[in-house]
A and B are shown apart, each in its own frame.
Chain A
Amino acid sequence: MARESFFEQQAANRRQSWLLALAVLALLGVLGYTIGFGVSGESAGGLATTVGALGLGTVLSLGSYFAGDKLVLAASGAKPVSEADAPQLLNVVRELTIAANVPMPKVYLIDDTAPNAFATGRDPQHASVAITTGLLQKLDREELQGVIGHELSHVRNLDIRFALLVGVLVGSIALLSDFFLRFTFWGGGRRSGSRDREGGGGLQVLMFVVGLVLAIVAPIIARLVQLAVSRQREYLADASSVELTRNPYGLERALAKISSDKEVLEVANRATQHLYFTNPIKKFEARSSGLFSTHPPIVDRINRLRELTGEQPLAQGEIAALAGLD
């Protein structure tokens, strides 16, 4: 594959990602408006809730923009690494920061035997890379390079900022929908009924119903959008990693080893799973080609790398052999 195609892919990815972020924001606005109109019965009420919803999204976004990385690192039990703990890890990160032309990120270790890694932060100047002790033990130097290259690609492409922001916007849609559904449940419907006599109730009822439907559907749509972005970015980060290391085999073997590993990452949860190198929650892996997965199936990721080198794609069963575990 030609070198330009990485940049084309990158540019396309950026465009699509911002469109998707705008779509999520618009969804938040529309949801706010219909809920407000439906409850109050007038346009002003709708606007007030729209402002409220967008305000909520903005406040939460700003919060996560400045403190989200610390929250994620703390929630994962990540500890800063010193030169004495893992010299090779720091060497590999330093090498690849030169290749990716990004500043040296803060490097953290998570004490967990399941091999995995993630990057977070608001920009390359405030980035952190965390890897598990299991990853350090199970991968050799070339494989580690592949994984770190993948994470630094997320840093360089600003995926880390995007993941923080989209995560929060999706969260605020869920929050708003939840709030509305509970409100309806506790008697919002009664109040709207009493206003029916004052006229103009037809539109209000319609808005109320639309709001109700949106409140149920919007969180699901938002989540699907987030997941689609997340999966796309994993492919891009794999390709960028190879661009940095000039060595597709390290990353390929790392993916194979990690997918053959049976351990479960205990510190990962639904809120942080999309950040990791591979999906840490193994039960999702079985249906991971589906809409509800944060990561593409590993066999697809390996085969896309093999496309770059012009090699034959592998079947699911051949992964263990590649990992050298046969």
Chain B
Amino acid sequence: MQPWIVIAIVVVVIVLFVVGIYNGLIGRRNRVDEALSQIEVQLKRRWDLIPNLVNAVKGYMGFEQKVLTDVTEARANAVSAGAQGVAAQAQAENMLTSTLRSLFAVVENYPDLKANQNVLELQEQLTTTENQISFSRQHYNATVLDYNTAIQTIPSVLIAGPLGFTKRDFFDAEPEAAQVPKVDLSLG
């Protein structure tokens, strides 16, 4: 056998190997992006629901205004944090989650509000959105773990750096948000 045939075969094998790794990394990175966009859809839905909730409860006499301004501010921060990367966004969203939680805690003290159909519906919508966010976040973090592990381990680490695959951030849950929010929603 001619030596150049051997060399050609070796080159072809190496090229196929690199292509295989590259395609695998692209697949993983796309799954991370897809998981992130799933979270973003739900975050956006939550941003849209909050003004409605604020409007629905602010008419009630003596309702703690501070709580409402906190929620509104946290929402504005979360919206603007969207452009600053996953870590910043996660932090802003966690802030928003905790202000919302205190808002619902206050609502518990107002029997009229608790019986208001509109408020109940918004509360249900927000609860389900929040649960969807937290489940999507678990899914996203799992895909990030998979992707980060792939680009840091041999053999793919050899081509990940040169081809511009960089580490992704986790969408971190604040410690207390790891649990399902305790909002009493016995609708009957």
Show the binding face of A for B, using Cβ within 8 Å.
87-88, 91-92, 94-96, 98-99, 101, 137, 140-142, 145, 245-247
Contact = CB atoms under 8 A, between A and B. Distances in A.
Interface of B: 38, 121, 124-125, 127-128, 131-132, 135-136, 138-139, 178-180, 184-188
Contact of A96 (B121, B127, B135, B178): B135
11 contacts: A87-B124, A88-B185, A91-B124, A91-B125, A91-B127, A91-B128, A94-B128, A95-B128, A99-B135, A141-B127, A141-B186
Nearest to B184: A140
A315 B124 CA distance: 35
A88 B187 contact: yes
Nearest to B183: A141
Contacts of A88: 124, 128, 185, 187
A315 B45 CA distance: 45
A142 B188 contact: no
Contact of A137 (B180, B185, B188): B188
Contacts, number: 43
Describe A's contact surface by its main secondary structure. helix
Contacts of B178: 246
Contact of B135 (A87, A91, A95): A95
B132 A94 contact: yes
Nearest to A137: B188
Describe B's contact surface by its main secondary structure. helix
Contacts of A142: 180
A244 to B, nearest CB: 8
A100 B131 CA distance: 13
Contacts of B185: 88, 140-141
A32 B127 CA distance: 57
Contacts of A94: 128, 132
Contacts of B180: 142, 145, 245-247
**Which 6 residue pairs spanning A and B have beta carbons closest together?**
A91-B128, A99-B135, A98-B135, A140-B186, A141-B185, A95-B131
A247 B186 contact: no
A246 B128 contact: no
Contacts of A95: 128, 131-132, 135
The residue among B38, B179, B180, B184 with the most chain A CB atoms within 10 A of its own CB is B180
Contacts of A92: 128
A58 to B, nearest CB: 37
Contacts of B186: 140-141
B136 A98 contact: yes
B148 to A, nearest CB: 19
A246 B135 CA distance: 10
Contacts of B124: 87-88, 91
A98 B139 contact: yes
